[in-house]
Structure 1
Amino acid sequence: MALDPNDKPNQPITKFESMLKTDDVYFFDAEDFEDIIHHYLNNGKISLAKKAIKIGLQQHPESMELKLLDVEVLVFENNLELAEKILDKLQLYDSTNEEIYIQRANIYSKKDNHEAAVALLHQALELTAESFDIYALLGMEYLFMDDFEKAKIHFMKCVSFDEQDYSSLYNVIYCFEFLEDYNGAIQYLNDYLERNPYCQVAWHQLGKQYFTLKMYDEALAAFDFAIIADDTFIGAYFEKGKVLEKLGKYNEAIENYETTITIDDPTSHAYLRIGKCHEKLKNDDLAKFYFYQTVHEDPLLDKGWLAITDFYYKKGNNERALYYINKAINIDGENAKYWKKCARIHAALENYDEADFAFKQAVDLGNYELDTWLNWAEVVTQNEEVEAAIQILLQGLEFYPEEAVILYKMAGLYLMANDPVKAQYRFRKALKKTLINSQLLKKNSPPFSIPCGRET
């Protein structure tokens, strides 16, 4: 079994490191070498682990466990061919060693053959009663295969073996979330909390499920219990702040975000949320201060730059908004959100050539939202390039073939281009879609009646 990475070096490790600093050669039991190697692997000291393996095999050349640890490092370093050769030899001596099948499964996983990896891990399960690690590996393989139902089942087995295995608990909830089974996640977490009522991780995850379902009172209660279980749990304070924001309790939300800053180093996300709360409270100077703190803490956080830009944009200070969105673009010119915002600001300033260029950049970078096509076409129309505007809307129509608004705008553009035939064609299509949508809306709407009252 691997050592806890937080364990302090014991006597064999101290003795081994002392040996490395001298020309002396000390003898260790094979088990001591295993402990030394596990310690280095768990702490990411691969070169020291390899030295321990080499010396260990010199002193214990027949040790199966040391050879398997050698294979583990070879697989980690993608030296798969040599690892397989060693495993072939080991299997001739002991075909019932489950670790051989586990390492072969790791090799297949590295080669993206997850079905074969799963088959080998099931063979390993038949050979050992200590199956905790194997279930965790199976869970990961099913995740790679996007089989979230089976992944969930295997991670649940890990939690049933060790209810303090929070990594597997997180993976169980991740599977529930991916399957959009939030009620299932809530039921699972409530059952878990019946057995572990002081588990801050489970309360935190339960609160997030309630938040997703917009059950804000239940979410607040869950985050409060997480904080009771651990009053230094930053994630619980932050998520509680988000709930309070949704409830319009901005001052209380600020208190929770500020608590995260007092517990640990401040984060750009906390500064951003505090700024947003102050903005809602009309505390413009404080909002602006925290938005600046956001980008100071993390210059690459796009939401921070967009918050500053939006702050000035909403105030009608488009020149200032343009200055900050350009700073953002200079940092990350591949961000489609930056370019779209830049285009809207240029349009507000009637810089139509610049707006046209910015919208093109946004689309080239993958922003295909409906309003992008509509606003881009409008900008080009303002620039008196009607044909170009039509071509833009034709592209947009490929993404939104059912949107009547595009067809109506195209009809108008064809009229501007003196092409009444195409204008009429697009208008009729738009009208037809409008009627269809209206009928669908009427069909799916609940019936209502007008109450009869006495005439006055």
Structure 2
Amino acid sequence: RAVELHPQDDWVQNSLGIAYSMVKQYEKAKTHFLKALLLSPEAVYYVNLADTHKVLENWDDALDYYLEAVSIDPNYHSAHNSIGIEYYYRKNYEKAIEHYQKAIAIAPENFVYHANLGDAYKKTKRIEEAVEAYQKALSLNSDDVLTLINLGEVFRGQQQFDEAEQYYLRALEAHKKQPGNQSIDIALNGLGIIYSIRRDYRAAEKYFQSAIEGNPQYSIYYSNLGDAYRNLQQYEKAIEIYEKAIALDENDDIVHNAMGVSYSYLKEFDSAIECYQKAININNSKAVYFLNLGDAFVDKGDLESAEIAYRTAVEKEPKNASAYESLASLLGSLGKYFQAMVNYQTAFELDKNPIHLSHIGHIYRRLGDYEQSIAFCQKAFDIAREQKDTNPRIPRYLGLAYNDRGTEFDSQQKYQLAIKDYQTALKYIDDDPVIFHNLYLSYISIEDWMNAMESLKRALELNPDNPVYLNEMEVLKNKLADA
């Protein structure tokens, strides 16, 4: 009725546009906002028209009209905020920041503007500024759930897990006061991740399940829950949850790989191989998928296929030390010793892990080249000591190298040299009865009965039921008694 009486009244046309917007008749609303603008180009009419285009997903038109609004009224803070949002979703974060800052300069007490500014800073990795913006938003509205969640996400991303947990828990408390769809599942998932990092998988399970209840259509929550069950060694349950994740997103290569790992633990290698191959079909750029596939082939006994998988892993990530290590280990088991040593050397050059040198020494030991074996194992031991690396295999391999050279000296009747090597071996391995027994035999050969007795006693302490050792002890006791 008003528009019939006052068809040239811009306020009436604008009001009618608002009325149509409220009943979701956006095309009619757009028509009346345009009429209002033709009558009087007011900033508010441009904003209303922009809002309508936004609902209709005419993003470019919406941005243009918001920009027209602030060109007419540079102090229209909500329009600046809307422009910031439009630029944000276009990933033009610097322009978004510019307009959020303009909105804040005009209306500094509006917490939403500060929160939006924090979002843009977070996207540009300006973490300190993001935290400052979010905390300013909280100073204006301490119970804003989304801002609390965003602070939790920022601190988790910085691996400041205690701080992240505090904000997530505050978000849960604030959500109780104002329940609704406020992305609280993000906080629950974040808490689950934090407890997973702390290896409290039972607590993580609880939070991931709650996240799923809050948003049952988000596959990553099922994936995270599956990981928790896998870490709890509940592999069947993990697979069940992973299948739910795949039902929501069949192209999630990470989940297919994780399910393969669970099948591998269950020793269901054919199923594991199928999962790894699905992961590779989706994303063939990750070496870890080929490494897992190779491991499954090794477990199945298909070494030829394993070698192909490992070599592909090396091709995909030529700076991945683990890929060279896996390939080297397989080549060594196939008797391709030179190739194995080359790959161990490459692995060492990439990550400086001394265990790779120990493996080279171990191969030389197999080949009977004890001098080279000791040289590589000694170098590995020295590096490990510098790095404070406590890998028990490193001293063990060095001890075994000395022991084996000792047996060679013993076979050459160079008993004093053999004794010296056995004693050196025992500096690195003091719990191996075989080395003590070898030392005993060398002492027997030079008729050093007392040291022979002490060595045999130590062998028996470590292996008290060995019938050979027991018999030798009786013989030695009788010999000493006769003497």
Shorter-chain TM-score tier:
0.5 to 0.7
Deviation larger for 245-254 or 131-140: 131-140
CA spacing shift, 1:47–1:128, aligned 2, 3 Å? closer
Say which is worse superposed, 158-167 or 332-341, in terms of deviation: 158-167
What letter corresponds to residue 134 of structure 1 in structure 2?
L
Q: How big is the shift at 1:411?
A: 12
Whichever residue aligns with residue 342 of structure 1, its letter is I
Quote the Cα distance in structure 2 between the aligned partners of 1:235 and 1:183: 22
Kindly indicate which of the two structures has a greater share of residues assigned to helix.
2
Hey, what's the Cα distance between the residues in 1 that align with 2:194 and 2:117?
31
Structure 2 Cα separation of the partners of residues 281 and 268 of structure 1: 20
Q: Cα deviation per residue 1:37-69 (whole Å; 9 max; x = unaligned)?
A: 455567765554565578x48xx9644269969
Residue equivalent to 2:289: 270
Structure 1 Cα separation of the partners of residues 437 and 167 of structure 2: 52
In structure 1, which of residues 30, 33, 37 is the aligned counterpart of residue 80 of structure 2? 33
The residue identity in structure 2 corresponding to 1:299 is P
C-alpha displacement at 1:15, in angstroms? Answer: 7.8
Q: Aligned pair in 2 of structure 1 residues 188, 145: CA closer, same or farther (>3 Å)?
A: closer
SS at match of 1:180: coil
> Which residue of 252, 267, 271 maps to 1:252?
271
2:383 to 313, 338, 361: 361
Q: Residue 342 of structure 1: which of 349, 355, 360 is its match? A: 360
Amino acid at match of 1:177: S
Aligned partners of 1:51, 1:327: CA distance in 2, in Å? 49
Q: Secondary structure at the match of 2:363?
A: helix
- The Cα shift of 1:389 comes to 9.2
Q: Does 1:228 align with 2:247?
A: yes
Residue 240 of structure 1: aligned partner: 259
Q: How far off its partner does 1:347 sit?
A: 3.5
1:95 equivalent in structure 2: none
Structure 1 segment 73-152 matched on structure 2, within 5 A: 103=132, 124=139, 127-137=141-151, 144=160, 146=162, 150=166
- The answer for the alignment partner of 1:212 in structure 2 is 231
Structure 1's 348 and 411: CA in aligned 2 closer, same or farther, altered over 3 A? closer
What is the alpha-carbon distance in structure 2 between the residues aligned to residue 129 and residue 199 of structure 1?
A: 25
Q: Residues 182 and 69 (structure 1 numbering): CA distance in 2 closer, same or farther, change over 3 Å?
A: closer
Distance change in 2, residues 1:63/1:309 (3 Å): same
- Measured after TM superposition, the shift of residue 342 of structure 1 is 3.0
Total equivalences in the alignment:
375
Match of 2:431 in 1: 405
In structure 1, what is the Cα distance between the partners aligned to 2:91 and 2:202?
39
**Structure 1 residues 320-362: Cα deviation after superposition (integer angstroms, max 9, x where no partner):** 20121223334x1523443333333344342232332234334
| Residue in 1 that maps onto 2:323 | 304
The SS at the match of 2:431 is helix
Paired letter, 1:374: R
Report the CA distance shift for 1:295/1:280 in structure 2 as closer, same or farther (over 3 A).
same
- Note the C-alpha offset of 1:156: 5.0
Q: Is the 8 A contact 1:139 1:150 kept in 2?
A: no
CA deviation digits over 1:144-171, x for unaligned, max 9? 2647875663465588765756643432
Identify the range of structure 1 (45-54 vs 346-355) with the bigger mean alpha-carbon deviation.
45-54
Structure 2: any 5+ residue segments left out of the alignment?
1-56, 407-416, 464-483
- Preserved contact between residue 152 and residue 165 of structure 2 (Cα < 8 Å): no
Tell me if structure 2 keeps the 8 A contact 1:124–1:134: no
- Greater alpha carbon shift after TM alignment, 347-356 vs 220-229: 347-356
Q: Mark the CA change 1:145 to 1:215 in structure 2 (over 3 Å): closer, same or farther.
A: closer
Q: Structure 2: how far apart are the matches of 1:42 and 1:301?
A: 36
2:379 partner letter: F
Q: 2:314 aligns with which of 295, 313, 317?
A: 295
1:405 match: secondary structure: coil
Deviation, 1:241, is: 1.0
Larger Rg: 2
CA contact 1:336–1:366 (8 Å) conserved in 2 = no
Taking the aligned partners of 1:283 and 1:209, their CA distance within structure 2 comes to 30
Distance 1:67 1:168, change over 3 A: closer
Gaps of 5+ in 1: 1-6, 19-24, 84-98, 107-119, 397-402, 436-456
Give the aligned partner of residue 373 of structure 1.
395
- Could you tell me which amino acid in structure 2 is paired with residue 33 of structure 1? H
| Superposition CA RMSD, Å | 5.1
CA contact (8 A) 1:204 1:222 kept: yes
Give per-residue Cα distances to partners, 1:199-248, cap 9 Å, x unaligned: 42332222222222222222221112222233223232211111111222
